[in-house]
Chain A
Amino acid sequence: MNWITNYVRPTINSLFSRREVPDNLWTKCPECGTMLFHRELSENLNVCTGCDHHMALAPRERFEALFDGGIFAEIEVPAAVADPLHFRDQKKYPDRMKDARKKTGEKDAMLVVEGEIGRTSVVAAGQDFSFMGGSMGMYVGNAIIAGAERAVALKRPFILFSAAGGARMQEGILSLMQMPRTTVAVEMLREANLPYIVVLTHPTTGGVTASYAMLGDVQIAEPNALIGFAGTRVIEQTIREKLPEGFQRSEYLLDHGMLDRVTHRKDLREELITITRMLMGLPPAVMGELPKPDTNSKTDDQPDGTPAEDAKK
């Protein structure tokens, strides 16, 4: 990349406010309008460098940043019956699925993996809002159950990143039944005394919030995420009044005692390591990133980025 593509072109673009950005190299922050270069944005975990707005982060990208060395293994999820109700609205459900698969390159709206974060073994699940609004159907239920079963088998904590509008209407009552089904998965973890940590990301609403996403031992949310049961518009229509600023946002929920923490995406990894290690009875992680102040120490000369390691070694 030269300075023309890096600097001149975006400047021209912003000057003439072109709506179409060639090659999708630039993303406009929906919050503050800053044009963000894609590499810079992805290095910053899709958080705006200008205003700290947290944009959507697909599970695969999230896990690449979360796991040590970007290494994780996918856990196999039992296939769900395709189109169990033969559902058809303006479009056939199988066609909607095909489109979503093509768009995301994923099988469905939930990715379950295992790996290490800060040398701490975990099982993690990430919900993909770009896949039909992250909606919860049979597959998502299967994924959570598979993740919980794997966590129990390996005696590992289970970390779940939620993002969904709610249940997948195209699977009708069977999508609703994922509420009790995923709750059974949470019960498995509870009985095995394994930590279940939920990270709520924007947005998490409907039947997802009213089941597994609100049953964590620790409930963390990313800043300014929309979290709630009913949609804002439905509530406004029901009570016929305007809702207060920040209603159903992470900070609002924190104020009302519904969350343990609101954590910036860049701090999440370290926080998850700290919490899971304490809950699992492991010694503190040694965070090797910062050079020691001791000038005599040779480690000063070593490059940064040494992965955290178990203190028991």
Chain B
Amino acid sequence: MTHYLEFEKPLAEIEGKAEELRALARANEEMDVEQEAAGLDKKAATMLVDLYKNLSPWRKCQVARHPDRPHCKDYINALFKEYTPLAGDRNFADDHAVMGGLARLGDTAVMVIGHEKGNDTKTRIERNFGMARPEGYRKAIRLMEMADKFGLPIITLVDTPGAYPGKGAEERGQSEAIARSTEKCLQVKVPLISVIIGEGGSGGAVAFATGNKILMLEHSIYSVISPEGCASILWKDAEKMREAAEALRLTAQDLLKLGVADTVIKEPVGGAQRDRTAAIEAVGRALETTLAELLKKKPDALVKDRRKKYLDLGSKGLAA
């Protein structure tokens, strides 16, 4: 069943009607509804294109968080061969909000690391909705160190509302873990490519997304704070999230202008959730191109370029 977003309600009605007609026709063979249904399909298709042509920042947030969007696990299963998960931070626990391990992209052995949100109640709880604890970041650090040691490129898939705000997480050094993970990203002498596949939530995202190249899906977001959080602090009203989403410039398109994102990967019409295969394939192609480009660089140049990228960032602002 399709999960419709609030702004897709009119679309849901039309598609629902078409579906109803076809169901009727199946029950009653004498009815011929195909023409009418096809008309509705066409109307729905036009509406979908229109809706997604100019998504407002707040709508983008909703799409980025869409439960049917392909998640980290889907990308890993579809794009990588010989995926061998590696677990644990060797100190405290294995954080299921972060998955990672050895894998092959094409023939190239890589280290892939990402946030996994889960796709039903059970797995969402298991994955803590993609909110990592210090163990998750420390696992990532360990895997990045291993990749660095054996010269394997690192690919991170970012999709998190943010780092987990919990008691134990604070006690075990959530901020230190994030800071060290960001630091590790800056140190490794192998290519580091980050793909923001959905939500790039604040420091929890930075810890994985400090890379040579940042790729963002067309309807993904990356922000210092959630629009709801920003609205409740600056507007003193969490309901002003539309305004906050607008002001924060968190869309892939704005981030490309600001130089934070290097590439925006086009999504199928209606978002990655409507055609998961096409979305995953698009990410695969972008990864292959970017990796081939980065593999030409020497280890020291990779470190130097990465640092320069961040030092130079923001010197122009949003060219209005």
A residues sitting closer than 8 Å to B (CB atoms) are: 80-81, 83-90, 138, 145, 167, 169, 171-177, 179-181, 183-184, 186-187, 206-207, 209-215, 228-231, 234-235, 238-239, 241, 243, 247-248, 256-258
- Identify 13 new A-B residue pairs, CB closer than 8 A, beyond the known A138-B314, A247-B170: A81-B316, A87-B247, A89-B244, A167-B202, A177-B206, A177-B314, A179-B210, A181-B313, A210-B203, A211-B203, A215-B179, A215-B183, A238-B164
Q: Is B104 an interface residue (CB 8 A)?
A: no
Query: Which of B173, B224, B260 gathers the greatest number of chain A CB atoms within 10 Å?
Result: B224
CB of A215 within 8 A of CB of B202, answer no
CB of B183 within 8 A of CB of A187, answer yes
Q: How long is the Cα–Cα vector from A241 to B182 in the complex, in angstroms?
A: 31
Q: How long is the Cα–Cα vector from A258 to B173 in the complex, in angstroms?
A: 6
Question: Which stretch in B138-146, B229-237, B294-302 binds the other chain?
Answer: B229-237
Q: How long is the Cα–Cα vector from A187 to B307 in the complex, in angstroms?
A: 9
CB of B182 within 8 A of CB of A179, answer yes
Q: How long is the Cα–Cα vector from A167 to B202 in the complex, in angstroms?
A: 10
Query: Which of B175, B230, B255 gathers the greatest number of chain A CB atoms within 10 Å?
Result: B175
CB of A229 within 8 A of CB of B203, answer yes
Q: A174-B258, A207-B203 are in contact. Are A230 and B178 (CB under 8 A)?
A: no
CB of A174 within 8 A of CB of B314, answer yes
Cβ-closest 10 pairs across A and B: A84-B317, A230-B165, A209-B175, A81-B317, A89-B234, A176-B224, A229-B175, A210-B178, A210-B175, A229-B174
B window 157-196: CB within 8 A of A:
163-167, 169-176, 178-180, 182-183, 185-187
Q: How long is the Cα–Cα vector from A243 to B163 in the complex, in angstroms?
A: 18
Q: A173-B224, A176-B224, A229-B178 are in contact. Are A86 and B318 (CB under 8 A)?
A: yes
Task: Give the Cβ gap from B106 to chain A, nearest Cβ, in Å.
Answer: 28
Task: Give the Cβ gap from B65 to chain A, nearest Cβ, in Å.
Answer: 17
Task: Give the Cβ gap from B319 to chain A, nearest Cβ, in Å.
Answer: 10
Main SS of the interface on chain B? helix
CB contact between B315 and one of A81, A231, A238, A248 (< 8 Å): that residue: A81
CB of A174 within 8 A of CB of B313, answer yes
CB of A183 within 8 A of CB of B186, answer yes
CB of B250 within 8 A of CB of A173, answer yes
Q: Nearest residue in A to B163 (C-beta to C-beta)?
A: A229
Task: Give the Cβ gap from A6 to chain B, nearest Cβ, in Å.
Answer: 42
CB contact between A180 and one of B169, B206, B316, B318 (< 8 Å): that residue: B206
The count of chain B contact residues (Cβ–Cβ below 8 Å) is 55
CB of B313 within 8 A of CB of A86, answer no
CB of B247 within 8 A of CB of A89, answer yes
Q: A173-B248, A187-B187, A229-B174 are in contact. Are A214 and B320 (CB under 8 A)?
A: no
B contact residues around A206 at 8 Å (CB): 203
CB contact between A84 and one of B207, B223, B318 (< 8 Å): that residue: B318
Task: Report 11 cross-chain contacts, Cβ distance below 8 Å, ordered by A residue.
Answer: A172-B249, A174-B258, A174-B313, A177-B313, A187-B307, A213-B175, A229-B163, A229-B169, A230-B174, A235-B165, A247-B167
A contact residues around B317 at 8 Å (CB): 81, 83-85, 174
CB of B203 within 8 A of CB of A169, answer no
Q: How long is the Cα–Cα vector from A214 to B223 in the complex, in angstroms?
A: 21
Q: Nearest residue in A to B201 (C-beta to C-beta)?
A: A176
CB of A84 within 8 A of CB of B314, answer yes
Task: Give the Cβ gap from B104 to chain A, nearest Cβ, in Å.
Answer: 28
CB of B182 within 8 A of CB of A88, answer no
CB of B175 within 8 A of CB of A228, answer yes
Residue-wise, chain B 241-273 has the 8 Å CB interface mask toward A (1 for contact) of 001100111100011001010000000000000
CB of B179 within 8 A of CB of A214, answer yes
Q: How long is the Cα–Cα vector from A92 to B234 in the complex, in angstroms?
A: 11
Q: How long is the Cα–Cα vector from A187 to B187 in the complex, in angstroms?
A: 8
Q: Is B4 an interface residue (CB 8 A)?
A: no
Q: Is B27 an interface residue (CB 8 A)?
A: no
CB of B311 within 8 A of CB of A173, answer no
Q: How long is the Cα–Cα vector from A173 to B222 in the complex, in angstroms?
A: 7
CB contact between B170 and one of A181, A186, A211, A248 (< 8 Å): that residue: A248
